[in-house]
Chains A and B, each alone.
Chain A
Amino acid sequence: EIVLTQSPATLSLSPGERATLSCRASQSVSSYLAWYQQKPGQAPRLLIHDASNRATGIPARFSGSGSGTDFTLTISSLEPEDFAVYYCQHRSDWPPTFGQGTKLESK
Chain B
Amino acid sequence: EVQLVESGGGLVQPGGSLRLSCAASGFTFSNYAMSWVRQAPGKGLEWVAPISDSGDSTYYADSVKGRFTISRDNSKNTLYLQMKSLRAEDTAVYYCAKAYISGWVFSAGDWGQGTLVTVSP
Chain A positions within 8 Å of B, measured between CB atoms, are 34, 36, 42-46, 49, 55, 87, 89, 91-101
Q: List 8 A-B contacts (CB under 8 A).
A: A42-B113, A44-B95, A44-B111, A49-B109, A55-B100, A91-B105, A98-B45, A98-B46
Tell me the smallest distance from the CB of A77 to a CB of chain B, in Å.
Answer: 25
A36 cross-chain contacts in B, Cβ below 8 A: 45, 108
Interface contact A43-B114, CB-CB below 8 Å? yes
Interface size on B, residues (CB 8 A): 21
B62's closest neighbor in chain A, by CB? Answer: A95
Total contacts A to B, CB within 8 angstroms? 53
Closest 3 CB pairs of A and B: A91-B106, A96-B106, A43-B111
A89 and B107 alpha carbons, distance in the complex (Å): 9
Chain B positions within 8 Å of A, measured between CB atoms, are 44-47, 50, 59, 61-62, 95, 100, 104-114
Q: Knowing A43-B95, A43-B114, A96-B47, say if A49 contacts B107 (CB, 8 Å).
A: yes
B110 cross-chain contacts in A, Cβ below 8 A: 46
A94's closest neighbor in chain B, by CB? Answer: B59
Interface contact B44-A46, CB-CB below 8 Å? no
B59 cross-chain contacts in A, Cβ below 8 A: 94-95
A93 and B107 alpha carbons, distance in the complex (Å): 11
B112 cross-chain contacts in A, Cβ below 8 A: 43
Tell me the smallest distance from the CB of A39 to a CB of chain B, in Å.
Answer: 12
A94 and B50 alpha carbons, distance in the complex (Å): 10
A46 cross-chain contacts in B, Cβ below 8 A: 100, 108-110
B100's closest neighbor in chain A, by CB? Answer: A49
Interface contact B44-A100, CB-CB below 8 Å? yes
Interface contact A101-B109, CB-CB below 8 Å? no
Interface contact A98-B44, CB-CB below 8 Å? yes
A91 cross-chain contacts in B, Cβ below 8 A: 104-107
